[in-house]
Amino acid sequence: NNFRQKMQASPEQVAEMIYQIGRKCKDLEDRTKYNPADYQSFADWGSMLMHMSMVSDDQEKKKWYLEQSIEKLEQAISIKEDCRSSENELAIFSLGNALYFKYFLEKDDTVAEGHLKLARQKFELAQQRDPSNSMYASMLEQLSGAREQRRATHEHLRRLEGKTEAERHNEIRTLQVQMFEEVVANLRAQVEREPGNAAAACELAKSMFELAMLHAGDEAFKILTKAHAVLDSAGGQDPQKLWIQAVVAQARGYSDPSPAAARAHRQQAHELFEAVLSMEAQRDRHAALKQEREILEKTILTWHESWSPDPDAPVLINEEPHRRQPPPRL
């Protein structure tokens, strides 16, 4: 169908994303070598590796990244039990997410149940340590449907057997879309129950952005516009919200069919990114945010190039013309 045709170029998009995340992981690895007690860098490294696992299409690499993710998150927690990532997420919660993902990848039902049990324990600990964060309670609620979701996932994967690489890629993309749609639906329900919960609204907007990255053109723009509306309705002007607003604005700047509006979105993204950077006084954190911004901008531009009929993609504000990086060495 039309969606699958548009996603034919996405292996290059995924390779670019993995390359950029790999750069960030190398930077975090260097930090932990310099300071082996840097629990925040271990927590960030673990979270990045989990994201690497999620975007990888190769099942063996996916498992390896996930094991590395769990190892780094456990290392962070061993240094400081209640440590958090640079995004203020408890490492114990990130570890629960990694174990939950491992539950879905595991083929053996008995072994998988062990992963699910551990994931539940980590989510419960996260909720106990930060009861004000409704996202932790929301994840516990989602576990009620975990077994049915896993069964459907493995049925889907069995259908990939005997198919061509292109067919397998399209099937996996379809599965990813379905999974993100479910996450968005759960978060939307939470936001409707708790209209004043800015943290939940930010999580919803982030998930909508990730869902949009699996679509192209008009469909992606519709999702991003809804994400923008969610953020507009959320209270507060904290750095996390402004950062997500900037990311959504940048993506709208490469999917809005109006050239003038697209330029305005990119200008807004530039101003929001700069505003967040100006709020960060800590030098290491400031440098990490700049690097994250660079990765996001290149990922969004690569996504745009994967479906845009115009081979000459617009140039990022205050950036050199995009030069595609070589594929990662994995």
What is 165-232 written as a DSSP string? Answer: HHHHHHHHHHHHHHHHHHHHHHHHHHHHH-TT-HHHHHHHHHHHHHHHTTS-HHHHHHHHHHHHHHHH
3-state helix, strand, coil in the chain (%, to 5): 75, 0, 25
Compute φ and ψ for 84, nearest 5 degrees. -130, 160
Q: Residue 11 — pLDDT band, cuts 50, 70, 90?
A: low
Whether residue 316 lies inside any domain: the answer is no
Compute φ and ψ for 277, nearest 5 degrees. -60, -35
Whether residue 111 lies inside any domain: the answer is yes
- State the Cα–Cα distance between residues 30 and 2, nearest whole angstrom: 43
Whether residue 138 lies inside any domain: the answer is yes
Task: Please check the confidence at residue 23 and state whether its pLDDT lies above 80.
Answer: yes
CATH of residue 47's domain is 1.25.40.10
Residues paired with residue 84 on neighbouring β-strands, in sequence order: 90
Q: List strand residue ranges (DSSP E) for the chain, in order.
A: none
- State the Cα–Cα distance between residues 88 and 71, nearest whole angstrom: 20
- State the Cα–Cα distance between residues 101 and 93, nearest whole angstrom: 12
Which of these three, 134, 159, 184, is where a domain ends?
159
Q: How many CB atoms lie within 10 A of CB 278?
A: 10
Q: How many CB atoms lie within 10 A of CB 36?
A: 12
**pLDDT by residue (tens digit) across 244-294?**
999 999 999 999 999 999 999 999 999 999 999 999 888 877 888 888 888
147 and 181, same domain (yes or no): no
**DSSP 3-state of 90:** strand
15 and 151, same domain (yes or no): yes
Q: Is the pTM of this model over 0.75?
A: no
Element (H, E) at 301: helix 283-307
- Measured CA to CA in angstroms, residue 280 lies from 239, 256, 287, 314 at distances of 9, 30, 10, 29
186 and 295, same domain (yes or no): yes
- State the Cα–Cα distance between residues 247 and 87, nearest whole angstrom: 15
**pLDDT by residue (tens digit) across 187-237?**
888 888 888 788 888 889 999 998 998 888 899 999 999 999 999 988 777
Task: Please check the confidence at residue 2 and state whether its pLDDT lies above 50.
Answer: no
125 and 262, same domain (yes or no): no
Whether residue 33 lies inside any domain: the answer is yes
Compute φ and ψ for 90, nearest 5 degrees. -60, 135
Report pLDDT for 273: 94
Which of these three, 108, 131, 159, is where a domain ends?
159
pLDDT (mean) for 295-312: 78
Whether residue 315 lies inside any domain: the answer is no
Q: Do residues 287 and 294 lie in contact, with contact meaning Cβ atoms separated by under 8 Å?
A: no
Range of the structural domain that residue 74 is part of: 11-159
Nearest to 205 by CA among 221, 184, 185, 186: 184
206 and 275, same domain (yes or no): yes
**pLDDT by residue (tens digit) across 151-179?**
888 887 777 777 787 777 777 777 778 87
DSSP state of 312: S
